[in-house]
Amino acid sequence: MSTRECIFCKIIKGDAEGYIVFEDDISIAFLDVRPLNPGHCLLVPREHYETLMDIPDELIGPLFKNAKLISKAIEVGLEAQGIFVGINNRVSQSVPHLHIHIVPRNRGDNLKGFFWPRYPYKDRETILDIQNRIRGAINRLLIQP
């Protein structure tokens, strides 16, 4: 998708409506049009990157610092008991411009845990296999990012 067609790029440029709650040099945050709870914000980098895996390392610190600020602001400003922070990457990602969901949470708000059912591992062998595959991939990435 070109940045001209991206709805979040349009909001960033002021070409589409967005109820902006925060902006700085690298990012903006605005209200999600279909909130899980009132106050659900999306924090996005100004540059068009599709997923967390695509953004430059230098951006991660400043971006997550802003996620922390917005989380605190939602907690205080909306008197939320807690905050859910999450990112869909490709699967379940409906807008291919990286966005961090920052959602106010209150006990009994009907958002169940991680939203999805969870299952235990079949056995220890499966756990060790998964652990080894992730650790191996991390080691390879550390050698050659």
Which residues of this chain interact with ligand DGP, rule CB under 6 A? 7, 18, 30-34, 42, 88, 92-95
Cβ closest to ligand DGP, residue 30 vs residue 84? 30
Shortest Å, Cβ 59 to ligand DGP: 19
Helix (DSSP H) and strand (DSSP E) numbers for the chain: 3, 5
User: Are 56 and 65 a contacting pair, CB within 8 Å?
Assistant: no
Cβ closest to ligand DGP, residue 12 vs residue 80? 12
The overall longest dimension of the chain from CA atoms, in Å, is 53
DSSP letter for 113, please.
Answer: T
Check 48, 97, 99, 101 and give the catalytic one.
99
Q: Where are the alpha helices (DSSP H) in the chain?
A: 7-13, 57-77, 124-143
Shortest Å, Cβ 114 to ligand DGP: 14
Shortest Å, Cβ 3 to ligand DGP: 15
Annotation says 99 is catalytic = yes
The H or E element spanning position 20 is: strand 20-23
Cβ closest to ligand DGP, residue 92 vs residue 144? 92
**Which positions are annotated as active-site residues?**
99
